[in-house]
Chains A and B, each alone.
Chain A
Amino acid sequence: MSAAAPAPRVRHADRAALGVLAGLVLAALLAPWLAPHGPTDQLDIVGLASQPPSARFWLGTDAVSRDVLSRVLHGARVSLAVGAFGTLVALVLGAGIGLVAGWSGGRTDALLMGLVDTGLAVPRVLLVLAVVAVTGGLGTGGLVLLLGATGWFGIARLVRGQVRSLRTRAFVEAARTMGAPVPWIVRHHLLPHLATPLLVAATLGMGQMMLLEAGVSFLGVGVRPPAASWGNMIADGRATLATAPWVSLFPGLAIVGSVLALTVISEGMRRRLDPRETA
């Protein structure tokens, strides 16, 4: 694909991205201790509403006098967790279905890949919206499952392709000739080869998952208020965009930071693992 940029600078960016991600994860884990206020505390709805960023409120307050910094920190827990667990669900589904399709070939393969093509062609936002409409609203757990269930298509295609080529490799054929059971081959020959491309895809996928969560939460069908997710915080701030833009700006920056960090890390891993790129 793209030619590699000079090596030292790349490592620099990778390290920065890892640092950003580690910081965000720490912030999410330690949110209850780091945050100066509770995420839903309305400090003084008359006197402290829509305060601009200051020494007292680093990121300002929103229209009902909640501390934006505290909400961004607590939102990190929701947004990162939804992204991570949603990706995990997608990974398990995609790897499983890709393995079945790639290994069995023939009709099963054609059917499953037809499903994957259809899934990839449908805008995910609409798919998620439709399911939310059908189920009449979801909890955060349900949302994670839903994001995972609509996010495995690309991973399945990746795994299927890898499995099709691994299947014809000598060590796999040898194992089959010797009568090794399929689960054994999957565990000892296929999964080790799949691990790295899956890790790269999952890192990138987690960023996409977080963007999607933000989008559906913004539309009001994802993470429900008063729980803070970065997406629904942006929606919250929309009404006061002209007078208190910081309410929408900071959670948006948090999303950009995390997704960018994940993308850079994924790119860095891919570059390091792809021998053509290092040449």
Chain B
Amino acid sequence: MRRALRAAALLLAVATLAFAAIHAAPGAPFQPADGRALDPVAAAGLRARFALDAPLPVQYARWLAAAVQGDLGESFSRQRPVRDVLAAALPHSLLLAAAALLVDLLVGIALGAWQAAHAGSRGDRVLSAFTMSVQAVPVFWLGLVLVLVFAQWWHWLPVGGATDPVTHDLLTAAGRWLDRLRHLALPALTLGLAGAAGTARFVRGAMRDAWHEDHVRTARAMGVPERTILLRHVLRDAWLPLATLVGLAIPGLIGGAVLVETVFSWPGIGRVATDAILARDHPLVVGTALVSAAAVVLGGLVGDLLAAWADPRVRRSA
């Protein structure tokens, strides 16, 4: 309950800040990009249409009342309700985020666990150097390199977009799925690999820490096979910090998604946010800010729940 209140307070703060910041900005919406003056009559008409001539507190109160009911106003630049724009983009973002998180965790845990089990070996050191290098790579540049190799040189995968603009509607149901998967592969791989490097380093550290715990030493002294120790005790212990990591990974995932969605022309929230900011589309900016904040809050919540579930002490008391 306290958590829910805090989450709501955070969302309200983000919304208020975004609303205030965007209205304090110099420059006005509806301004033609080439610097020509806008016809004053037309401007007044537009301002009246979007209720921009009311005093700011009134605008804020109206906007807030509407927002609580799920109405976030109308996007200036797309001339559609903000809710519809976000609703169209959100599934794409969730799909990309889920796929990327899957790659992140699968690759990250596999690498980290292998490294922890072979700590100090040549392979471990090579992989450590590798994950450290991947963390130094700008995620958008990684995306471009993958595009270059897999799309431009080898023509295995499409360059960008979520579906094929020409053939998608003509395909069979199975063909459409395949088309989606092929479009998803590179962006998910880019975002996932960037995160996997951090996850691998984290898992390796957490498992090495668990290695020296008393119950692991006891199990080893009792002659439990190394493999069982690794899976049943060490990985189990490392699971708790890992659960928290998932929550912490969410902001990075969203930030990375902004860049990756731009590289791959992926029609998600990140691109909507970038476009809205560049177009000074106030309602849409506030809308995307709210969605991102909600994602961050939810991510933290999911991380806590996972941690609670992973920790028998908490699980029993809950």
Residues of A within 8 A of B (CB): 1-3, 5-6, 9, 13, 118, 120-126, 129-136, 207, 211, 214-215, 218-221, 231, 234, 238, 241-242, 245, 248-249, 252, 255-256, 259-260, 263-264, 267
Contacts and interface: CB of A to CB of B under 8 A. Distances in A.
Given A133-B278, A215-B139, A252-B144, 16 more contacts: A2-B208, A120-B251, A123-B251, A123-B252, A129-B258, A130-B285, A133-B25, A134-B24, A211-B136, A218-B140, A219-B258, A219-B262, A245-B148, A245-B152, A264-B132, A267-B132
A218 B262 CA distance: 10
B103 to A, nearest CB: 19
Majority SS at the chain A contact face = helix
Interface string B20-35: 0110111100000000
B133 A125 contact: no
Contacts of B120: 3, 5-6
Given A129-B258, A129-B273, A135-B25, A122 B132 contact: no
B259 A219 contact: yes
A139 to B, nearest CB: 15
Interface of B: 10, 13, 18, 21-22, 24-27, 119-120, 125, 128-129, 132-133, 135-141, 144-145, 147-148, 152, 201, 204-205, 208-209, 251-252, 254-256, 258-259, 262, 273-274, 277-278, 280, 285, 289, 292-293, 296-297, 300
B274 A219 contact: yes
B22 A263 contact: no
Given A130-B21, A214-B138, A256 B144 contact: no
B152 A121 contact: no
Contacts of A132: 277
A136 B24 CA distance: 11
A234 B120 CA distance: 37
Q: Which 3 A-B pairs have the closest CB atoms?
A: A123-B255, A259-B136, A252-B141
B255 A9 contact: no
Contact of A3 (B119, B258, B280): B119
Contacts of B259: 125, 215, 218-219
A234 B148 CA distance: 13
B21 to A, nearest CB: 5
B278 A241 contact: no
B289 A256 contact: no
Contacts of A130: 18, 21, 277, 285, 289
Contacts of A131: 21
A6 B119 CA distance: 11
B136 A122 contact: no
B141 A234 contact: yes
A160 B262 CA distance: 37
Given A133-B285, A215-B259, A241-B148, A122 B273 contact: no
A248 B25 contact: no
15 contacts: A1-B205, A5-B125, A5-B128, A13-B129, A126-B292, A129-B274, A135-B26, A136-B27, A214-B138, A241-B144, A241-B148, A245-B152, A248-B141, A255-B141, A260-B133
Contacts of B300: 121
Chain B CB within 10 Å, residue with most, of A2, A242, A255: A2
